[in-house]
Amino acid sequence: MKIGNRLLTERQDRKINQTEMAELLGLSPSSYSRIERNEGSVDLEQIIDFSQKLNIPIQDFLPDTISINTRQDQNGQIGLVMGSIYNYYNYSDKEIAQVLTLLAQENTFLKEKNSLLEKRIADLERLLEHSQTSHKA
C-alpha cells in the first residue's frame, strides 16, 4: 500500500478533513494533499513521525518487501530498496537503524500481546469446559 493511500484510509477512519490531518502531522495542507495523492515524496524520518503521531505500526507504511543494498554510493549512503528494485532510496545507516529498532520494538510488543491473548484463550477454554461439565452434572 502506498503511503498516501494509508494516510487517506486513516484520515477517513478518523472522520477528519485534510487540513486537520495535515495539522496533526505537522504539515502544510498542500504538502499533505500531495502526499495523500501519492504525488509528494516522504522521507524515512516522516514515515517514522507519521507512525508515532497516528499510533500506526510503521510496517503499515512500508511495502511488503524491503532489502538492504550493502554497497555504498559516493556519499557513503547505503541503499534501502522498498517494494522493488525500481523504488530505490538512499538512507543513512542511522535512519535504517532507526526503522529496524522500531520494527524490533513492535515485534516484541506483538509477541507479548500474542502470548497474553493465547493465555486468555486458554483461560476461556477452561472456563467453557468447566461450564459444560457443570451443566452435565
Instruction: Locate 136 and state its grid cell.
Output: 452435565
How far apart, in Å, do the first and last CA atoms of the chain sit? 54
Instruction: Locate 119 and state its grid cell.
Output: 493465555
Which residues fall within 8 angstroms of residue 70, CB to CB, at 6 or more apart? 78
Which residue in the block uniquely carries the three cell numbers 497516528? Answer: 54
pLDDT tens column, 32-81:
999 999 887 787 788 888 999 999 988 787 766 555 555 555 666 555 54
What pLDDT does residue 86 have? 37
Distance of alpha carbon 72 from alpha carbon 69, whole angstroms: 8
**Taking the complete model, does pTM exceed 0.85, yes or no?**
no
Domains recognised in the chain with CATH numbers: 1-61 (1.10.260.40)
pLDDT tens column, 77-123:
555 545 443 344 456 667 777 778 888 888 888 889 889 999 999 99
Distance of alpha carbon 44 from alpha carbon 49, whole angstroms: 9
Q: Which amino acid, one-letter code, is at 112?
A: E
The 3-class secondary structure across 39-103, one letter per residue, is CCCCCHHHHHHHHHHHCCCHHHCCCCCEEEEEEECCCCCEEEEECCCCCEEEECHHHHHHHHHHH
Q: How many residues does the chain have?
A: 137
pLDDT tens column, 13-34:
999 999 999 999 999 999 999 9
Which residue in the block uniquely carries the three cell numbers 525500481? Answer: 86
